[in-house]
Amino acid sequence: MPSELRKAWAETYAKTPYRDLPWFSEKPFPSIVRAVKERQIVPPGPLLDVGCGAGTNALWLARQGFRVTGVDISPGAIAGAQRRAESGRVAAEFRVGDALNLPFARGRFRVVTDVGCFHTLPVNLRPGYVREVRRVLRPGGTYIPAWIAREATQKFGPPHRLSLGDMTVYFERDFIFAQTEYGPASTDGAWKTRRGLLPSYSARLLRRSSPQPRPR
């Protein structure tokens, strides 16, 4: 990750308590909850939560029986997640790490989740992220991303908002799109922030054992 982005994320959590950040939620993201309840992913994993922030999704998944590792670029985010795990007596591992250079062996995880990491990356960094998720996820493993949709026209929120088509450009070569869902701002599927609701997408992708076949 470029040093200026590392510094920016470190300063974000150093200057503002994580509970006061606009994207923080005490509740796990709806698509994560649904994936577990519908047994799209099943314990024990292992499971990696990329860009885990203060750990809300990772902690909830650990309580469901998953062997969870949360990784985030910000030391302050990881410190908050660790404090929450300790106070709640939740068995989850949290590590400072770069989504573009994940500190894990190839094929270590059966599940990777990402609620709000990929959509923060500048366009030129996206391919590196995809390579790393593919590397650490086992063939046939499940990747569950959620991101603020391009349909979100509000000024607040991430600047690099992706359409479903954008996601296929980056991921379809190495992943099968098994399920996608759009949550308009008027529904429970919207992305909830302290500043309001934003339209969002969530998806369930399966890591291919071999690259997507060429067009015929």
Residue-wise pLDDT for 79-108, tens only, equals 999 999 999 999 999 999 999 999 999 999
How is the chain split into domains, by residue range?
A: 3-207
Annotation: CATH topology of 3-207: Rossmann fold (3.40.50)
How confident is the model over 31-51, as a mean pLDDT? 97
| pLDDT, position 189 | 78
pLDDT band at 5 (very low <50, low <70, confident <90, very high): confident
Mean pLDDT, the chain, integer? 95
| pLDDT, position 209 | 95
32 closest CA partner among 198, 203, 195: 203
| pLDDT, position 46 | 98
Q: Evaluate if residue 74 carries a pLDDT over 90.
A: yes
| pLDDT, position 195 | 85
pLDDT in tens, 101-158: 999 999 999 999 999 999 999 999 999 999 999 999 999 999 999 999 999 999 888 8
